[in-house]
Structure formats: C-alpha cells, structure tokens
Amino acid sequence: MTAVLLSGGLDSAVLLADEGRRAEVQPVYVSVGLAWEAAERATLARLLDAIPTAHRVRPLVSLSLDMTDVYAAGHWALSGRPPAYDTPDEDVYLPGRNVTLLGKAAVYCALASIPRIVLGTLGANPFPDATPAFRRAIAGALSLGLDHPLEIDAPYASLGKAEIIRRGLALDVPFALTLSCMNPAPPPVVRHCGLCSKCRERHDAFLESGLPDPTDYADRRLVDAAPRGVDRA
C-alpha cells in the first residue's frame, strides 16, 4: 500500500495512476487554507471519478492543517494574487510546504499502517524541501517519532513536466480534469486563469511534449503568445 499526496495537478494525477498500476494506492489531500483549495477539491472529485478502473485507487482521504496563522495575512497564496505569468519558479516558494504535507500525511499513514508516501516532485523543483537529503531526513524523523517505518519517495524527481504528460497519456490520465493554477475560477465551473506562472508552466509543458493542451484557460492572451524557450513549429 502506498499513499499518494494528491493535489489534482498534472504531476500528482499521473503519479496516482502510475503507482496504481503496481499496488493499491491511498490518495491523500491535505488542506492548509490556501486560496485555490476549493477549486482543487472540486477538481479532485471529478478526477477520481474519471481515473481508469484498472488503477487500484482507494477513496480520497482529506486532511487539514491550518497554515493561515503562519503566513502573513496578505501573502499571495492566501489572498489569491499569485506571481505573474513570466515570474521565476522561486517566486512561488511556500516555506514549510512539504514539511506540512508530509507531517500530517505521515501521522495518518502510521495509524493506517501504510509504509510508503510518494509525492510528485519534479526535477526542476528549486526548493530546499524538494531534495533527496530532505526526504531522507524527514522520513527518518517521522519513522522515529511515530514508531512506524516510513519510506518517502519522489519517483519523478529526475523528470520534467513534459515527460510526465507523455507518461500520463499512456496511463489514460484525463488531463482536462487536472488543475495547475494558483488563481482558478471557483467551483462549480473551475477554470485555469491563464495568467499565473503555473498556467505558463503547464502550457509550455504540453507544447514541449508535442501533445495538445486540453486546458480551459479563462484568459488565453498569454498562453497563445510565443512561450519562453518552446518552439511552436
């Protein structure tokens, strides 16, 4: 049994389907109070209904750990004003993000006797809580503190998002039902904003993969312009 930290984004959706080919998986969503979480939860409901039945996926477990008392009241992740389309990845750093998600998920896994947690960290991730050293250290600390041997793995840590999209195609992942946006339109009609750096990252990855982008962008002005470092030809 493996627990998959699931946000509804491309990477974690493909990871869920990929892991589900080999063993039963437990998707886990951890809410911390960020501006886009209502859209994520709505996306997850549709996504999990559409995952092919060949993948052995248990019902979603939703956990919560409030971080709104840690981040400043005007923080972009709470206010719904994310970094703009062409800003670097470093601008979306959330201190303690993986510490929080893994800590809460690990307590659940210890009580449920689940020995492994995976998350969809990619090779380009520049943050300190996305490194092999961090994963080894936190797995050791959580295993010790919970008296429950726990492996924490990031199977895609050497891959880029375009490769993840190609894998997802082979796994029949419904890309149109995934969400990679920091300012999405709220439920019931969840749409990508088309103006944040996560939308840019998503669209560029589809272009690089050579596959059509099925995403519904509320504003297409930037995604339809020439992307950075991606050849449309």
The percentage of residues in the chain with a pLDDT greater than 70, rounded to a whole number, is: 96
Q: What is the pLDDT of residues 11-26, one digit of tens each?
A: 999 999 999 988 899 9
Proportion of the chain above pLDDT 90, given as a percent? 85
- Of residues 188 and 62, more confidence is placed in 62
Which own/partner pairs from 123-132 qualify as long-range (CB within 8 Å, at least 24 positions apart)?
123/156, 123/157, 123/158, 123/159, 123/160, 124/89, 124/160, 124/161, 125/89, 125/157, 126/89, 126/90, 127/93, 127/97, 127/98, 129/96, 129/97, 129/98, 129/99, 130/98, 130/154, 130/157, 132/157
| 57/30 Cα distance (integer angstroms) | 17
Q: What is the pLDDT of residue 230?
A: 53
* pLDDT at residue 131 in the model: 94
pLDDT at residue number 101: 96
Interval 60-102: pLDDT, tens: 999 999 999 999 989 999 998 999 999 988 899 999 999 999 9
Model confidence at 233, pLDDT cuts 50, 70, 90, reads very low
User: What is the predicted pLDDT for the residue at 232?
Assistant: 41
> Rounded to a whole number, what is the largest CA-CA distance in the chain?
55
Q: Which residues contact 205 (CB under 8 A, 6 or more apart)?
A: 10, 160, 161, 162, 164, 165
Task: Give the position of tokens 């996504």.
Answer: 47
pLDDT of res. 221: 95
CA distance to 40, 75, 182, 193, per residue, from 186 (Å): 9, 19, 11, 10
Averaged pLDDT for residues 167-192: 94
pLDDT, mean of residues 102-128: 95
pLDDT at 206: 96
**Is 110 a residue whose pLDDT tops 90?**
yes
Question: Per-residue confidence at 227, pLDDT binned at 50, 70, 90?
Answer: low
